[in-house]
Structure 1
């Protein structure tokens, strides 16, 4: 029996040793398997790169300039003060024009919708600008504005509800369905209003009906159902004398780095010491803005101003400390802000004023339509670190002009009224068109062409 026990003990020990070895091998195999690369099976979904067809280029013009208060028995009635002169051209020929009815004008009126049809897979370049010169007992001055696409979200930065100001927010719906438009006024008085703009029509809302009592009103415009074109029509009367008119385009959104070309400071007269001011507002958060002013044609800084901003509260900065002349204003902020510059020719009757809006960056060919008006000039600004050469050429034929714009500087050239130009730079630029004469001021920025359609990935 003792031999049998010894045999069994030896067998049991062998089994234990063998089990330990096998278990250890399993542990090593698991560790190695976890860290080692294993073959994988990958299934890639079928996909295709597709470039959507671009839509037609559609521009909306402002149409007739409105007069309000001409009938003492009906002071809120709006009538046509005059129809503008239109200059337009496109890369694919003459655009189709459709009238948009202004039902709220007592004697009737209309604006124009311009459509450049797609050719092949490319949307055509199209540019149009309106201008009007007024010399009536209640309205005097020059107003000009480009025709622009409609938008579902935009901001009116300028405007006034002070005594003598008659400002109207003109809303144009070029679509085939009605648009519900919400207007929200920001400033010392905050208010909102909703209006319905019927399909293919235009209507206007007095700024005083929305922002009465507000010192520096700004208005956020949002549209549902159909996008609208929003423009601020402004007029000013001092005592009983007209003192200017203007058409101010809306901006699409606040910016952290805004460039405003074509600002002019005039000799101050009488009580017009603040004839040129920068209006600013940060809609969403407190901000610190820096306003930098450069003389036209120079990279040297003529003035720098630090402006603290409280969220939702507009403020203004006077540029009266600077010498009279032509300037570019830049606004840089740590958060997106709204900005515009108001320039006033003088403080007397039959003077004029104009709002200067930020000019977006242009890095491709655009068309610039110059309407009827005095002494038009194209102002070009280069904020980059390298020099830029800009070619300016009439689309109907003529010798091109090459304009060299030094890094961080600006330049301007004379252009002809009632002419459309092709403008193309060797690098990004900002540009505005200005018109200046006694009792006549107008400034408006050039906008990039409609963006090219980008490819998208489609998964069946």
Structure 2
């Protein structure tokens, strides 16, 4: 072997060491140890999308951003939330059904705008405000120490008109598929699917509708183009002439990725945001039904070829009970099924638990919840959600009007709840709670000492079975019990990273 060859091998080995070339050690390999478990490390970048809050001139919107303090993060990072602005001059989008299609025809580069809010440090909320009908959809990015568990809440008060009351939504990460049982094209309802594209290339989206008799034929919902860095609210009634009281909306992204949420507005009973149900599963939990709910309607859908038969139970403060007359629910394949449960909570905290009576068939579901009576009704939605997992966060809370509901449907669980420092002052406080198996508890959540402004609640299971959580915000105006409910799934602040070792032998293969 000549000198040149030796130098090349030595140089290659040095380069491999510098750049950290690594490979997973295969189990059973000669001289190798058993593969080690993946490490849980903080995520380094998070993207969140907030839909356009309202078309009402009377709308008053607040945004609250919060990142919990996470061990293992570095000292650097930044986060900001700013307007989504179209930047492509060769993508005009599909203006069918969109309220602001003309905005997507703007040409030129993305317009630089001042961020709506910019967090200063993890552990302390930051707030921003907007008024009127011109408030745009927002795109947020957090990096470094601000990324793990970053949460943003959009809360809007509308004084009068269609959808009047309190509307709230957790800004969500972009994805490629969403299920929304609980939408409607009935008279008196005005429902939009908001699609927000955070990326530099256009996204192509199909919107499918399923009613009580199955799929609703519509070519209009196929191939909707959402321009880069833009948002498109699509009116459901432009996709079909059928009047359907209960619809399941399926958003399927052919290319790219989007954030999606349904804004459901009622002429007489207020309105709210309908967040996506968790992915289709055999068993579902819908937590946090307000104890003073006057009407609860369950909407369910199964996307498969088999019918689903579900046992319906309510996790109350005293245990699992079966609603009289609604012991089971039969969901036909490909058809949206709905049932009125009435005032099922009867003055107590409650969460709905759906489990298969026999064979497990994947299902999505949501609740339409009404508080108040007559002309003073207000509506909110509770989709089926995944458990808290490692940690979940509710960003926008006040000393009054916030209710945190925790459910442990299968096994008793211990949970730590932390109230962060206030946005304008205060000291964080933590408490530990025990939630008995099969129950839901509206807990007396901690409040920061010396609170000024708003604060965040962070939920962390310590032991026991899975925990499901939801937070209700309430604000009564002129006798109308305005409220909004957000479920609290895992904040995805940690990611599993496989253990890797340097293996320079790969350069010789």
> Is the structural similarity TM-score above 0.5?
yes
Residue 357 of structure 1: aligned partner: 383
Alignment of structure 1 residues 17-416 onto 2, 5 Å:
54-67=43-56, 82-91=59-68, 95-101=79-85, 103-104=100-101, 108-119=134-145, 123-187=147-211, 188=213, 190-192=216-218, 193=221, 194-213=223-242, 214-238=244-268, 243-264=269-290, 266=292, 275-284=295-304, 285-295=306-316, 297-303=317-323, 305-320=327-342, 322=344, 324-325=346-347, 326-333=349-356, 334-371=360-397, 375-395=401-421, 397-414=427-444
Does structure 2 conserve the Cα–Cα contact (< 8 Å) formed by 1:131 and 1:371? no
Measured against aligned partners, the alpha-carbon deviations of 1:229-261 in whole angstroms (never above 9, x if no partner) come to: 1111011114xxxx2021111134212111111
Instruction: For residues 309-334 of structure 1, give each alpha carbon's deviation from its aligned partner in whole angstroms, at most 9, with x where no partner exists.
Output: 21011111221274632321011132
Question: 5+ residue gaps in structure 2?
Answer: 1-27, 70-76, 87-99, 104-132, 448-452
2:9 maps to none
Q: Secondary structure at the match of 2:189?
A: coil
**Among 460, 478, 499, which residue is 1:424 paired with?**
460
Structure 1 window deviating more from structure 2 (450-459 vs 155-164): it is 450-459
Equivalent pairs counted in the alignment come to 394
Moved more, 81-90 or 386-395: 386-395
Per the alignment, in what secondary structure is the counterpart of residue 319 of structure 1? strand
Q: TM-score, normalised by structure 2?
A: 0.70
The answer to whether the Cα contact below 8 Å between 2:163 and 2:272 also exists between their aligned partners in 1 is no
TM, length-normalised to structure 1: 0.77
Equivalent residue number for residue 497 of structure 2? 454
Structure 1 residue ranges without an equivalent (≥5):
1-41, 68-79, 269-274
> 1:174 touches 1:228 (CA, 8 Å); kept in 2?
yes
* 3-state DSSP of counterpart to 2:267: strand
Change (3 A) 1:210 1:329: same
Residues 202-231 of structure 1: CA distance to partner in whole angstroms, max 9, x if unpaired? 011111122431342111111133211111
Deviation at 1:347, TM superposition (A): 4.7
CA deviation string 1:96-145 (max 9, x = no partner)? 223113854887541222222135xx952211111111112444111101
- How far off its partner does 1:414 sit? 4.7
Q: CA RMSD in A?
A: 3.1
